[in-house]
Structure 1
């Protein structure tokens, strides 16, 4: 859950606009007895209308270049586009927020609830490539949160093994994609997806080191 003012700051919009979005139903929210509005966790997925996510392929190419990988087989036009995207990140007040929008098509996010003991066990499961909160270098303790990438062929068994059930504010955030290793850039993007101040700060710290 998140206050409207925190959401507005994380997304780089005015509080007035955030309140209008909540009141119009564009953001999932509920009103407390004192009249204040609290946004549900699903609101972090909101993106400005003018945001233009990259394709799956271009998203991972951008993440790879940020990680310093020597990517072969990139066409000249793609390389020129990637250079422009990197410059936009360098020019941005919050590179992490911009990156999260650009690479939002990198994987499909599924959110579940798991018992804290199961969550700790999941963090040692080699079917999950840890990323985001709790990943090495993230600057954040995991607690009972599990966040990472899972191959499409493994998600069904993981859900069965750990009795996972979908929950919008759950403690297990799995991104479904064929990934060898997420890398620091993906960790930054995953942190930024939370839309919260602390995660965004750590995401920007990581990107500062990559840019």
Structure 2
């Protein structure tokens, strides 16, 4: 599978310019499609998933448990199993791999391309709850990317207002939530951890391990 320069940059935790430099030097295999470069995803070193993904319902119960709740929305036996998974996560040498494997169903992910000049306004838009590499708690300096949560009743208007496009290099990552799962800024820490884990880069994995200590 091939990915855009923007997606490769997000995965590697570097700028798009740095990815193009690595392409020019031959360090990354890529080919041109029209005006854009695409990169062989196999070079980006994504770690294998470990364990079965949770359903959306169980994923949100686990996120509630990680935030200090009881695991709302599942039965007591399921809560007991989730508590065991929490212990496994806290003791894991690579907790990011577990989160990436367990929680992909928590929200739909959409990637768009926006004009660089619009990124500051996107970050300030009240419809987006910043998360992942755009959340200050992550310690990332991802000025060229906007990542966050948006309700499914607002995403179409957001796309129209900022002329977001599914073509070009994605620099906007939207986690789209259904109406029964509203999220306000700052997003709960477990959500931030899950979003960082999805990037699967060394900096993001290190941030997960660091922030995991702040869970209640």
Q: Which runs of 5+ in 1 are unaligned?
A: 8-30
* Corresponding position of 1:165: 165
Q: What's the secondary structure of 2:147's corresponding residue?
A: strand
- Give the aligned partner of residue 206 of structure 1: 211
Matches of 1:40 and 1:64, distance apart in 2 = 36
State how far apart, in whole Å, the 2-side matches of 1:196 and 1:185 are.
18
Partner of residue 197 from structure 1, selected from 198, 202, 207: 202
Q: 1:125-149, CA deviations, whole angstroms, 9 ceiling, x for partnerless residues?
A: 1111111112131212341311011
RMSD: 3.0
Output one character per residue of 1:81-104: Cα deviation in whole Å (capped at 9) or x when no partner.
Answer: 111211221232111221121011
Residue in 2 that maps onto 1:180:
183
For residues 199 and 183 of structure 2, the distance between their equivalents in structure 1, rounded to whole angstroms, comes to 23
| Aligned 8 A contact 2:151 2:176 in 1 | yes
Q: CA deviation at 1:60?
A: 1.2
Hey, what's the Cα distance between the residues in 2 that align with 1:60 and 1:168?
A: 32
How far apart in 1 are the matches of 2:169 and 2:28?
20
Q: In structure 1, what is the Cα distance between the partners aligned to 2:161 and 2:63?
A: 31
- After superposition, give the CA deviation of every residue in 1:143-185 in whole Å (9 maximum; x if it has no partner): 1311011111111111110011125741100011133243111
Structure 1 stretch displaced more, 67-76 or 164-173: 67-76
Contact 2:90 2:212 in 1 (8 A): no
SS at match of 1:165: coil
Q: After superposition, what is the alpha-carbon deviation per residue over 1:9-44, rounded to whole angstroms, capped at 9, x for unaligned?
A: xxxxxxxxxxxxxxxxxxxxxx98958646556987
Instruction: Say how many residue pairs are matched.
Output: 186
Query: What is the match of residue 144 of structure 1?
Result: 144
Q: 1:169 to 1:92 in 2, by over 3 A?
A: farther
Change (3 A) 1:94 1:195: same
Identify unmatched segments of 5+ residues in structure 2.
13-22, 31-38
Distance in 1, matches of 2:105 and 2:127, equals: 21
